[in-house]
Amino acid sequence: MRKAERSAGGQGLTSHWLSEYLATLVVERGLAPNTVASYRSDLRRFGAWLERHNLDVLACDRADVRRYLSELRGQGLSARSAARALAALRSLFRFLLAVEARASDPTEELESPKLLRALPRFLSFEQVESLLAAPQVSRPLGLRDRAMLETLYATGVRVSELVHLTLANLRLDPGFVRVLGKGSKERVVPLGSSARGWIARYLEEVRPRHDRHRAAELFLTARGEAMTRQAFWYAIKGYGRRAGIEVPLSPHVVRHSFATHLLEHGADLRAVQAMLGHSDISTTEIYTHVTRERLRQMYDRAHPRA
């Protein structure tokens, strides 16, 4: 906007524009509640900054946005958090541009802070085998947990997706599950024969005795309720200790192991992206760095002139 508009006094980011924008995130883009909450928090902070500097979201320019981000970094905000803050601003200004509240996007040529992406932790195939064998399958809950671990490693689903798998979305005969992922996006993921076998045993021997409320979810607690993320997180840590796995263990480490092992055995990157539910191929490409690093380590150990 014009300088004349800027000198008239700023209103920051009014509740009207914030509410309108957040509504589009839910209705049109279908973002998850946690993502919307993060955007709301970032934009409220930006709105407060605009008010302190007597600026209006409809009139601020690129220099203002750059100064705001610089101040965030000066306050000790990490590069990752600053990048998320800029992503929230980009999305907001594109919305304002689309509804013709602004004539330009002040974030258009701003670069995100460079992030050093840490390689994901993963298990060796032998460690995965030990983890899968850790539950005592002679006990009902041990058999359920074996089925859950097998499903997790067979599909690479997120833990929230695992505990929300339903009977209706399970197809044991052809061997696949329908998964509802981030942004309410649905994908189909294959189920290997080992996972199918353990799920079939669980369905026959354990689930009927626990299903007191005709639950839709596949995996149930002893009280007949859906398994929770926290309960499974706690269980997998215990099985990791029982299996002698020393690396910090979580369901996400098993997800990383799923992707890494697939790529190591020649799987197509796009296929792995689809199974993981990544919207951007660059997110999946981190696993190619993992496999290259493992190849380098193997070379260094094995080659006499490495």
31, 237, 261 from 125: Cα distances, Å: 35, 18, 8
Q: Which residues of 11-50 are buried (b: 16+ CB within 10 A; e: fewer)?
A: bbbeeebbeebbeebeeeeebeeebeebbbebbebbbebb
Nearest alpha-carbon partner for 115 in 77, 152, 156:
77
- DSSP per-residue string spanning 115-140: --PPPPP---HHHHHHHHT-S-TTSH
Return the active site residues.
158, 182, 252, 255, 278, 287
Cα separation, 132 vs 135, whole angstroms = 7
